[in-house]
Each structure stands twice: as C-alpha cells, then as structure tokens.
Amino acid sequence: MRFQIKNVVPSTLLTILFLIILEVLSTAMLPMIGVSKYRLPFNILIILFLGFKLETSFLAILILVVQYTHAFFSIEGWASGTIAGIIVCTIISYLRDLMHFSSAGFTMLVTQLFQLVWFLIISVFFYIRFDNVEFLIEKFWRFIPESICISLLSPLFFALLDKIWKVREDGVLSDES
C-alpha cells in the first residue's frame, strides 16, 4: 500500500523512543540482576517487524535509523547491522506472501529463523574483518538464548508495533493518522 512520509514519521519516532527505552532497560537492568553477558537485540526485532509489515521504498532508511539508534547503546557497528537488516528485509520481501502471522507459534518460528539468517550475515562480516572463528563460536553460544528470548517475546512486541504503525489485521497500513 502506498502511504506518505508524513504518516511514517510519527510511527518512526514512537518506534525509536520504544527502542531507546528497551535499550536502556536491557543495558542497565539486566546487569543489575546478574545477567551481564547477554543483551536482548530489540533492534533486530524492530527491523524484522518493519520488514514483515511494511512495503515501502524507504525501508532501508528506517533500518538505518533503527541501527544508528541502537549504536548508541552497543559497540556493534551500525553499518554492518544496516547491511544485514537490508539483506534480511530483501529476503523477507520475496517471501512475504508466504508468511501470515496468524498464530503466535508461527510468529516465533519465523522470527527465530530470520534472526539466524541475521546472525549468519553478521558472522560473515566479522570473519572477513577479524579472521577469527573462535570469536564467532563464542558469539553463537551467546546468540542462542538471546534469540530464543526475542522469539518468545515477538508476538507481544509485534502486536504493540502493529498499534504504533497502525497495521490492520490483514497486514495493511491503515490510512488514519
């Protein structure tokens, strides 16, 4: 569906505010309860939502904004995350007609699958840059619980993001502002 950028800006700002709140909670609260090695990648969850639900020509810019905001809270590169997000969303755009988020289980499964694709893309970038497989193996074992947790939270977050982006049940953006 075609929509104007003026309808996207408020939703983008709310999404970024939501991401900042989640990043602060993840960065500050998890270490307070003793979980210091793990951080939940809410940025990936938001980008997957954007890829699943929005068909827009400026999706890459939205991915860049999300990744750049995430970079304030992480040492991960916003550039590699943006490239990975664009690749994953391109794959999603080809498969979008096959995916219907009618159940929480399917939403969790698809989210987990695309997080794995994201991890593989980022791993290739890390391997090219550092040529260190041991780091990737260690990162993979940290990725598993993080991705499972995000997958379990995905139906709840997708429902909330549906309200922020005003996505109807059939997956189309509503015209109301």
Can you give the residue ranges of every domain in the chain? 5-165
Tokens coding 144 = 């598993």
CA separation for the pair 50, 90 (Å, rounded): 11
| Single pTM value for the model | 0.89
Longest C-alpha distance within the chain, in Å?
A: 50
pLDDT digits (tens, 9 = 90+) for 57-91: 889 999 999 999 999 988 777 889 999 999 999 99
Low-confidence ranges of the chain (pLDDT < 50): 1-2, 177
Tokens coding 157 = 């977050």
